[in-house]
């Protein structure tokens, strides 16, 4: 009974803290989206749905939504494919396995700003390492920041570099929960490596992958730091996503209402996508299916 | 049922020998200590006055001057000055948060007209007209708004064109008087190798940021297109103004071919580093380039020169500029704030200017004759350049202008052109999207109209 009360108290405490930390700013942001203000010291003026109508009519908003989806999906696919591949290698016994496993998660420890600076210097079109390598082959350096596709590619590349170790770690943990007897039985039955992967490994990783894709999807869609540090949404807004657009509107253009409206729509969009995703890939059923 | 250890705190099931009472007493003591230390400024304020100064000049030298001045002022007058330094991008948000919290800073450095107008319109600033009136100021340095001076200027950030004198001599080039001559010089100094630009003719950025807004439009401003008429109607895409702006875009597209790659990600640091490392023959920046030359490549210190941006016909020149100054916020301590500022100007203004000896080009004209200021060894070394910069300020044929001050009067509308990166995106539309110059101008003008 006493323990129950403690549990209830801890639960209520947690909910209250979360309510204040997450719910408070969220509600404030939603409230702000119905007002217009030229700065944080300006008196906000009620505009109803005006900010929402304005952003919906802005091609930049739709461009940012599409850019966010393209960057997120590309990065997640690459991270998952690479993550599984690396985890499969690291799951095998070999000399130095522990050291290699430790090294493989180093990029995950790097502060994002450091990773982005390193990438910028490597790919700098005037001084960068890649420029020197290309020059040694008699080739000129491409200006990655000037082309929409290469600028997007750079954002995806850096995101994959930083976050693949997270996928590797999760998948590696998942691989170790798959009973080895299943592989032995498959080998006895003459199943090829591909068939073992397809019929044993992948189903065994289902629950892990559902969570990994969900988390990476949320984090990538809300990604701000990498894009801001590398391209600031350029060139020509081709790497602008909803988080950078919300920031730009609120903190550079000081159109606080429009910034809040972009953030609110982004939040609602993501919430709906997550609900649909979980409907198709329920986590509990995945566990039971194993 | 509690056992005899029930009053001890447990760690992983084992008692660690601290009673609850002792733990509570220790915690209370610690809390009181923390609360006491947090309340220190308040206690200090009881014994005298504490002023809070928000500084956005984050160079170590500038911060050191402020720290020394604060220490000297406290020992002389018993008034504590707390210096809070933050980059310009963060200081505006900090200042607004402080105002909203009901505890505005007492003083701040400020360098963007939009911020100043918002503070002034909100009634948050103290006028400084009396302080400013005591001196003679260079053109556009101590501008007024609603009949008052709201800031005490300390520098111009004039954007001059830096060029390599040695390369000019090598190729027999002259300082350009028109756009066409500037383009020819850039072409003549461009070196390519293996498909790469080894040395660019110039660097004039087109990124969507303040560096491009500030530095890239000197040549456009020299041709004086009007963005607005006298009633704030947008005229950029009409008649002569449209033609001049389109002509400038054609020039930019030609110059772009002489630039090294990466113009879309070039910001303040790269504008300097590309020139200092010899990667370009021209750059556009303020006096900080000279400081960078001395710090990183002193061999160039006698090989650079400056000139203002030419116009298309050779009749006029222009310098894009930004200002920097001190502002005082309205607080309960306004009298003490102004007293400190007056003391700082009398005692430490020159030290402050020395902390960025070339970038803090004096806006107050008497400073150029002040022996304390002149004795700085680097100012002496680059005296000819400094005098040339002063000459630009005094020469009526050199227009001093900026994108955020276009229009019939000081207003927030042109600041929005700056904030929304309308002009940098006009350059991007021209050279990255390949739009016609006329369409680029029309698109930019339509966006300006939307601002209202």
Question: Tell me, what's the pLDDT at B28?
Answer: 55
- Residue B175 and residue B163 in contact, taking contact as beta carbons nearer than 8 Å: yes
Q: Return all residues near B35 (Cβ < 8 A) that are at least 6 apart.
A: none
Q: Return all residues near B24 (Cβ < 8 A) that are at least 6 apart.
A: none
Type and span of the H or E element at B105: none
Whole-number Å distance between alpha carbons of B416 and B405: 11
Instruction: Give the C-alpha distances (Å, rounded to integers) separating B213 from B109, B193, B209, B422, B432.
Output: 21, 31, 7, 9, 17
**Segments of A47-100 assigned E as strands:** none
Q: Return all residues near A67 (Cβ < 8 A) that are at least 6 apart.
A: A152, A237, A238, A239, A240, A241
Provide the β-strand partners of residue B297.
none
- Residue B73 and residue B81 in contact, taking contact as beta carbons nearer than 8 Å: yes
Q: Which two tokens mark B380?
A: 């002496």
Q: Return all residues near B426 (Cβ < 8 A) that are at least 6 apart.
A: B249, B440, B441, B443, B444
- Is B207 in Cβ contact with A232 (below 8 Å)? yes
Residue A235 preceded by cis peptide, ω within 30 = yes
Nearest residue on chain A to B415, alpha-carbon basis = A253
Whole-number Å distance between alpha carbons of B199 and B197: 5
The structural domain count of chain A equals 1
Nearest residue on chain A to B259, alpha-carbon basis = A126
Question: Tell me, what's the pLDDT at B31?
Answer: 53
What DSSP string describes B248-271? HHHHHHHHHTTSPS-GGG--HHHH
- Is B262 in Cβ contact with A125 (below 8 Å)? yes
**Residue in A39, A127, A139 closest to B195 by CB:** A139
Tell me, what CATH number does A64's domain have?
1.10.3720.10
Nearest to B447 by CA among B405, B410, B407, B413: B413
Provide the β-strand partners of residue A144.
none
Write down the domain spans for chain B. 42-156+323-391, 160-321+402-451
Provide the β-strand partners of residue B193.
B196
**Domain B160-321+402-451, what architecture?**
3-Layer(aba) Sandwich (3.40)
**Residue in A142, A145, A252 closest to B265 by CB:** A145
Q: What is the pTM of this model?
A: 0.84
Exposure b/e, A135-150, CB count within 10 A at least 16 = b: beeeebbebbbbbbeb
Whole-number Å distance between alpha carbons of A181 and A195: 15
**Could you list the pLDDT tens digit for every one of the 290 residues in chain A?**
677 889 999 999 999 999 899 889 899 999 999 999 877 777 889 999 999 999 999 999 999 999 999 999 999 999 999 999 999 999 998 999 899 999 988 888 889 999 999 999 899 888 888 888 887 887 777 788 888 999 999 999 999 999 999 999 999 999 999 999 999 999 999 999 999 999 999 999 999 999 999 999 999 999 999 999 999 998 989 999 999 999 999 888 888 899 999 999 999 999 999 999 999 998 765 554 44
- Chain A nearest-CA distance from B201, in A, is 14
Q: Which two tokens mark A74?
A: 């590309």
Q: What are phi and psi of B375, to 5 degrees?
A: -75, -10
**Residue in A39, A140, A141 closest to B118 by CB:** A39
DSSP type of residue A250: I
Separation of CA B196 from chain center: 32
Alpha helices of B3-112 — where are they, by DSSP H?
20-38, 40-47, 60-77, 88-100
Whole-number Å distance between alpha carbons of B326 and B345: 10
Taking one residue from A and the other from B, the number of pairs with CB-CB distance under 8 angstroms is 80
Q: Is A33 inside any structural domain?
A: no
Do B42-156+323-391 and B160-321+402-451 come out as alike in CATH topology? yes
Q: Which residues of B touch A (CB under 8 A)?
A: 93, 96-97, 99-100, 118-119, 122, 124, 194-196, 207-209, 260-265, 274, 277, 279, 412, 416, 419-420, 425, 428-429, 432-433
- Is A131 in Cβ contact with B262 (below 8 Å)? no
Whole-number Å distance between alpha carbons of A154 and A118: 12
Give the residue ranges of chain B where pLDDT is below 70. 1-47
Provide the β-strand partners of residue B240.
none
Question: Tell me, what's the pLDDT at A286?
Answer: 55
Question: Tell me, what's the pLDDT at B4?
Answer: 42
Give the number of other CB atoms < 10 A from CB of residue B272. 22
Whole-number Å distance between alpha carbons of A177 and A201: 10
- Is A143 in Cβ contact with B261 (below 8 Å)? yes
Provide the β-strand partners of residue B325.
B110, B153
- Is A143 in Cβ contact with B93 (below 8 Å)? no
Q: Is A231 inside any structural domain?
A: yes
Pairing of strands B160-164, B304-307: antiparallel
Q: Is A165 inside any structural domain?
A: yes
- Is A135 in Cβ contact with B264 (below 8 Å)? no
- Chain A nearest-CA distance from B432, in A, is 7
Q: Is A48 inside any structural domain?
A: no
Nearest residue on chain B to A38, alpha-carbon basis = B118
- Is B264 in Cβ contact with A143 (below 8 Å)? yes
- Chain B nearest-CA distance from A259, in A, is 13
Q: What are phi and psi of B201, to 5 degrees?
A: -65, -40
Type and span of the H or E element at B362: none
Alpha helices of B59-202 — where are they, by DSSP H?
60-77, 88-100, 113-121, 129-133, 165-171, 179-189
Q: Is B311 helix (H, G, I), strand (E, B) or coil?
A: coil
Residue A154's domain comprises 59-289
Whole-number Å distance between alpha carbons of A189 and A167: 31
Pairing of strands B49-55, B107-110: parallel
Instruction: Give the C-alpha distances (Å, rounded to integers) separating B145 from A42, B319, B331.
Output: 19, 22, 21
Type and span of the H or E element at B338: helix B334-354
Q: Is B137 helix (H, G, I), strand (E, B) or coil?
A: strand
Instruction: Give the C-alpha distances (Å, rounded to integers) separating B307 from A165, B304, B330, B386.
Output: 52, 10, 41, 12
Q: Is A96 helix (H, G, I), strand (E, B) or coil?
A: coil
Pairing of strands A35-36, A45-46: antiparallel
Instruction: Give the C-alpha distances (Å, rounded to integers) separating B220 from B18, B99, B175, B243.
Output: 75, 38, 18, 11
Q: Is A41 inside any structural domain?
A: no
Q: Looking at the domain B42-156+323-391, which fold is it?
A: D-Maltodextrin-Binding Protein; domain 2 (3.40.190)
The per-residue pLDDT for range B165-210, each reduced to its tens digit, is 999 999 999 999 999 999 999 999 999 987 788 899 999 999 999 9
Nearest to B102 by CA among B336, B329, B328: B329
Question: Tell me, what's the pLDDT at B22?
Answer: 56
Nearest residue on chain B to A232, alpha-carbon basis = B208
Nearest to B297 by CA among B151, B166, B118: B166
Q: Which two tokens mark A146?
A: 């000037």
- Residue A216 and residue A81 in contact, taking contact as beta carbons nearer than 8 Å: no
Whole-number Å distance between alpha carbons of A188 and A204: 19
């Amino acid at each position: 009974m006493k323990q129950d009360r403690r549990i209830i108290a801890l639960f209520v405490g947690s909910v209250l803290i979360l309510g204040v930390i997450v719910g408070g700013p969220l509600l404030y942001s939603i409230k702000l989206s119905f007002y217009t203000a030229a700065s944080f010291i300006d008196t906000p003026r009620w505009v109803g749905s005006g900010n929402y109508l304005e952003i919906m009519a802005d091609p930049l908003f739709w461009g940012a939504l599409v850019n966010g989806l393209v960057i997120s999906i590309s990065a997640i696919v690459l991270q998952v494919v690479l993550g599984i591949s690396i985890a499969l290698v690291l799951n095998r016994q070999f000399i130095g396995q522990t050291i290699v496993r430790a090294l493989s998660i180093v990029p995950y420890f790097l502060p994002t700003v450091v990773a982005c600076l390193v990438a910028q210097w490597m790919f700098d079109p005037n001084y960068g390492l890649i420029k020197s390598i290309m020059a040694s082959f008699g080739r000129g350096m491409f200006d990655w920041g000037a082309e929409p596709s290469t600028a997007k590619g750079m954002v995806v590349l850096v995101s994959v570099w930083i976050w693949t170790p997270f996928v590797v770690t999760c998948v590696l943990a998942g691989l170790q929960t798959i009973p080895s007897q299943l592989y032995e039985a498959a080998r006895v039955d003459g199943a090829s490596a591909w068939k073992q992967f397809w019929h044993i490994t992948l189903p065994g990783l289902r629950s892990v992958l559902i969570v990994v894709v969900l988390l990476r999807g949320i984090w990538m869609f809300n990604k701000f730091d990498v894009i801001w540090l590398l391209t600031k949404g350029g060139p020509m807004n081709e790497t602008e996503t909803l988080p950078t657009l919300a920031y730009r509107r609120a903190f550079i253009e000081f159109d606080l209402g429009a910034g809040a409206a972009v953030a609110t729509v982004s939040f609602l969009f993501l919430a709906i996508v997550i609900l649909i995703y979980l409907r198709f890939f329920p986590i509990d059923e995945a566990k039971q299916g194993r | 049922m509690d056992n005899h250890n029930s009053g001890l705190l447990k760690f992983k099931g084992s008692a660690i020998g601290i009673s609850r009472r002792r733990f509570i007493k220790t915690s209370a003591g610690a809390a009181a200590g923390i609360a006491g230390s947090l309340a220190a400024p308040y206690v200090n304020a009881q014994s005298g006055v504490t002023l809070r100064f928000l500084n956005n000049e984050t160079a170590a030298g500038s911060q050191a001057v402020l720290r020394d001045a604060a220490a000297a002022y406290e020992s002389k007058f018993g008034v504590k000055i707390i210096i809070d330094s933050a980059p310009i991008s963060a200081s505006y948000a900090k200042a607004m948060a402080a105002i909203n919290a009901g505890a505005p800073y007492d003083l701040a450095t400020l360098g963007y007209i939009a911020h100043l107008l918002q503070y002034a319109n909100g009634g948050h600033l103290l006028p400084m007209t009396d302080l400013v009136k005591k001196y003679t100021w260079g053109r556009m340095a101590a501008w007024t708004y609603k009949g008052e001076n709201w800031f005490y200027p300390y520098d111009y950030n004039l954007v001059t064109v830096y060029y390599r004198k040695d390369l000019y001599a090598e190729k027999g080039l002259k300082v350009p008087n028109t756009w066409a001559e500037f383009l020819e010089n850039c072409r003549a100094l461009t070196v390519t190798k293996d498909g790469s630009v080894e040395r660019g003719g110039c660097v004039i950025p087109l990124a969507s940021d303040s560096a491009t807004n500030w530095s890239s439009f000197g040549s456009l401003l020299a041709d004086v297109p009007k963005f607005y008429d006298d009633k704030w109607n947008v005229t950029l895409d009409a008649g002569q103004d449209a033609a001049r702006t389109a002509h400038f875009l054609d020039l930019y597209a030609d110059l772009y071919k002489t630039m090294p790659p990466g113009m879309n990600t070039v910001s303040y640091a790269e504008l300097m580093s590309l020139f200092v490392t010899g990667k370009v023959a021209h750059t556009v920046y303020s006096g900080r380039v000279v400081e960078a030359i001395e710090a990183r490549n002193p061999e160039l210190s006698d090989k650079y020169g400056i000139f203002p941006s030419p116009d298309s016909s050779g009749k006029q020149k222009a310098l894009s500029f930004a200002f920097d100054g001190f502002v005082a916020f309205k607080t309960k301590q306004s009298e003490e704030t102004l007293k400190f500022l007056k003391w700082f100007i009398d005692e430490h203004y020159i030290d402050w200017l020395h902390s960025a000896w070339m970038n803090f080009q004096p806006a107050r004209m008497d400073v150029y004759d002040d022996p304390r200021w002149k004795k700085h060894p680097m100012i002496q070394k680059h005296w000819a350049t400094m005098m040339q910069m002063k000459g630009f300020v005094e020469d009526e044929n050199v227009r001093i202008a900026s994108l955020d001050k276009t229009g019939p009067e000081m207003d927030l509308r042109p600041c929005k052109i700056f904030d929304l990166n309308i002009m940098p995106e006009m350059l991007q539309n021209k050279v990255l999207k390949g739009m016609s110059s006329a369409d680029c101008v029309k698109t930019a003008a339509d966006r300006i109209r939307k601002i209202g």
